[in-house]
Structure 1
Amino acid sequence: MRWKLSLAQRIRAGAALAVVFLLIIATNLIDKNHFRIVKENLTTVYEDRLLTKNYLYLISRNLQQKKEILQSSDADDLRELHLAINDSIDALIDRFSSTKLTEQESLRYTSLKENIQALKKFENAYVSDESITPEAPISTNSEQYFQAVFQDLDALYKIQLEEGSRVISSSNQTIKSSDLIAKLEIGALIVIGILIQLLIFMKPSKHQ
């Protein structure tokens, strides 16, 4: 005894298989999109957050060195290191600007550049003073410039932490969604497989 499918059964089986095929294509496209999002987020965390935190740290170190030289009133060291430190800071500022900045970050970045320029202007006036001696006291006005710059750096560093946390949270949510869809896909395939069996073997036509 063998079983032969009727035309209606063949149509139902074909439709069920088509649904399975479309389901697989749809979930693959969704998974591909999720993978792209996670990949972009990982790149963002590294290039736009971890590297920028390092840039900010190095800028802060250079500024601290500059501040120590100014406070020590060591005119020789100041004249020797003034240009070198500024060149290093400028290079780091340029690298920072090449990263992806949020609106708030862009505003702080502009403020940082302006305050660094103000500090440089003050230093240039101090360095060009021929009367500088090791014993000459540094103007207390320098402190306000450093405070302004360090406030910008602190704000930018805080933004890196917040944005990094947001991106990681987004990646985790994307991964959870992908896992959920995968589970739903497996469940749907099992249900469809059962339905296909029912559709195929329901009311078969017998032929000797």
Structure 2
Amino acid sequence: MGFYAKFKWILGILMIFVLIIMTNLIDKNNFVRVRDSVVTIYEDRLIANDLIFEKLKLVQEKEIAVKTLDSTFYENRNLKVNDNLQSLISRFEETKLTSKEATVFNDFKSNVKVLQNAETKFINSSYNSTSKVNSAINSLKTNLSDLSKIQLNEGSRQMSISKRAVDSVELFTQIEIYMLVFLAIIIQIVVMYNPKEKK
């Protein structure tokens, strides 16, 4: 086999090799985007939504205690509920927050302090003045509702990122197939082409 024939074979193999490497790098990038999006949906959206639900249960427990003027709740249970609420706040801070989410969450933390101060005044007033406690509870419920909506919106956004990445993978797979067929034809032409020698 002459130099020209070897060169044609090497060129053909290199073209396929380069195409496969390029498509694999593109596919890898898209799969990383899908993986990151799925991890974000789980860690920063589903877990965060569960924490919001747990916080809402604690806030509702406080709301029921105020509505029923349950002094035993404030004597026995309220401190534990406050500790659980602080624990959930700490866990929520570990999730990745968007700027809007951070704003609402900071407002929530401020409203928790407002509620605790209002509860102290409520207890000192012999469970008579409920308006400030109810107002603080309503603010917390609004914050939690807003945080829950943000989780849904962000989860949807992450799903669309995943979908775009998967669509890119499918598109590049189709392009890769067409390119391989095209290169196979070119390689066949290059390999089979045998210029006539001049006599």
Fold equivalence (TM over 0.5): yes
Displaced runs of 4 or more, over 3 A: 6-10
User: Any stretches of 5+ residues in structure 2 without a counterpart?
Assistant: none
What is the identity percentage for the equivalent residue pairs of Structure 1 and Structure 2? 30
The separation in 2 between residues aligned to 1:16 and 1:198, in whole angstroms, is: 10
2:97 corresponds to which residue? 101
Higher relative contact order (CA 8 A, sep 6+): 1
1:181 corresponds to which residue? 172
Among 83, 86, 96, the alignment partner of 2:82 is 86
1:72 corresponds to which residue? 68
2:108 corresponds to which residue? 112
1:165 corresponds to which residue? 156
Q: Does 1:16 align with 2:12?
A: yes
Tell me the amino acid that sits aligned with residue 130 of structure 2: S
1:138 offset after TM fit, Å? 4.2
Tell me the amino acid that sits aligned with residue 40 of structure 2: T
DSSP-derived class of the 2:97 partner: coil
The separation in 2 between residues aligned to 1:79 and 1:148, in whole angstroms, is: 24
CA contact (8 A) 2:65 2:73 kept: yes
CA contact (8 A) 2:115 2:137 kept: yes
The separation in 2 between residues aligned to 1:10 and 1:198, in whole angstroms, is: 14
1:203 offset after TM fit, Å? 2.2
The structure that is helix-richer by fraction is 2
1:8-47 → structure 2 map (5 Å cutoff): 8-47=4-43
The separation in 1 between residues aligned to 2:186 and 2:6, in whole angstroms, is: 13
Q: CA RMSD in A?
A: 1.7
CA contact (8 A) 1:73 1:138 kept: no
1:164-202 CA distance string (max 9 Å, x none)? 000001101100100110111111111101111111111
Q: TM-score, normalised by structure 1?
A: 0.89
1:137-175 CA distance string (max 9 Å, x none)? 442222211121111111111100000000001101100
The separation in 2 between residues aligned to 1:74 and 1:113, in whole angstroms, is: 24
The separation in 2 between residues aligned to 1:92 and 1:98, in whole angstroms, is: 10
1:53 corresponds to which residue? 49
CA contact (8 A) 1:70 1:78 kept: no
Q: TM-score, normalised by structure 2?
A: 0.92
The separation in 1 between residues aligned to 2:188 and 2:18, in whole angstroms, is: 19
Tell me the amino acid that sits aligned with residue 42 of structure 2: Y
The separation in 1 between residues aligned to 2:51 and 2:62, in whole angstroms, is: 16
Tell me the amino acid that sits aligned with residue 106 of structure 2: T
The separation in 2 between residues aligned to 1:97 and 1:43, in whole angstroms, is: 17
Aligned residues: 197
CA contact (8 A) 2:9 2:191 kept: yes
1:204 offset after TM fit, Å? 5.5
CA contact (8 A) 1:34 1:175 kept: yes
The separation in 1 between residues aligned to 2:5 and 2:99, in whole angstroms, is: 60
